[in-house]
């Protein structure tokens, strides 16, 4: 969860284990951003990864894409109206996928108000917020003055 949180709050995402997941990248011909650490572009996915994405992650888009492929088997000779209609269908499928996937999950807030506050302020998963609050408490205890008195 902590590693996935580098990109976004993984707690509101569906997490899956993919045993065969291959991604192909290729090196760009030239740099186009000074902030880019690795100048690569996505070339494509391996067959198993593509099937996984289509079936488990984005089934609505996959179905729309297959229909567009059946309706327009030769993309070179497609009239503009049919091509525009196909893109409209695909874009509607993307909207449906976004609504289906992202609108459905809200992070489960902790019963501990300090943890819940940290979750909301920093958009982090509950386990990470709990760890941060626990660490803050540990540090506060360590900084407290010690007394030699025995009561």
The H-or-E segment that residue 25 falls in is strand 23-27
Whether 136 and 126 share a structural domain: yes
What is the distance between the alpha carbons of residues 99 and 26, in angstroms, rounded to a whole number? 32
147 part of a folded domain = no
What is the distance between the alpha carbons of residues 88 and 81, in angstroms, rounded to a whole number? 10
Kindly calculate the radius of gyration of the chain based on its CA atoms and give it in whole angstroms.
24
Whether 100 and 66 share a structural domain: yes
pLDDT value for 102: 64
Give this prediction's pTM. 0.59
Whether 44 and 22 share a structural domain: yes
75 part of a folded domain = yes
Whether 3 and 18 share a structural domain: yes
Residue 119: strand, helix, or coil: helix
119 part of a folded domain = yes
What is the distance between the alpha carbons of residues 117 and 136, in angstroms, rounded to a whole number? 14
pLDDT by 10s per residue, the chain, length 151: 677 767 767 776 777 888 889 999 999 999 999 989 999 999 999 999 999 999 988 999 999 999 988 888 676 778 888 889 999 999 999 999 988 866 556 677 778 888 788 877 777 777 777 788 888 877 777 787 766 655 5
Whether 14 and 45 share a structural domain: yes
Number of domains present in the structure of the chain: 3
Domain range for 125 is: 113-142
The H-or-E segment that residue 131 falls in is helix 126-143
Write a three-state SS string for 41-106: EEEEECHHHHHHHHHHHCHHHHHHHHHHHHHCCCHHHCCHHHHHHHHHHHHHHHHHHHHHHHCCCC
């Amino acid at each position: 969860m902590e590693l996935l949180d580098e990109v976004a709050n993984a707690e509101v995402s569906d997490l899956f284990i993919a045993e065969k997941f291959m991604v192909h990248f290729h090196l760009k011909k030239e740099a186009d951003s000074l902030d880019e650490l690795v100048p690569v572009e996505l070339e494509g996915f391996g067959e198993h990864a593509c099937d996984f994405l289509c079936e488990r992650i984005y089934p609505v888009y996959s179905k729309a894409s297959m229909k567009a492929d059946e309706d327009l088997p030769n993309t070179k000779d497609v009239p503009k109206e049919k091509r525009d209609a196909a893109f409209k269908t695909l874009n509607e499928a993307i909207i449906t996928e976004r609504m289906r996937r992202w609108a459905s999950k809200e992070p489960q807030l902790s019963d501990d108000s300090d943890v819940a506050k940290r979750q909301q302020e920093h958009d982090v998963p509950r386990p990470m917020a709990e760890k941060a609050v626990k660490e803050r408490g540990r540090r506060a205890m360590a900084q407290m003055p010690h007394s030699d008195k025995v009561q």
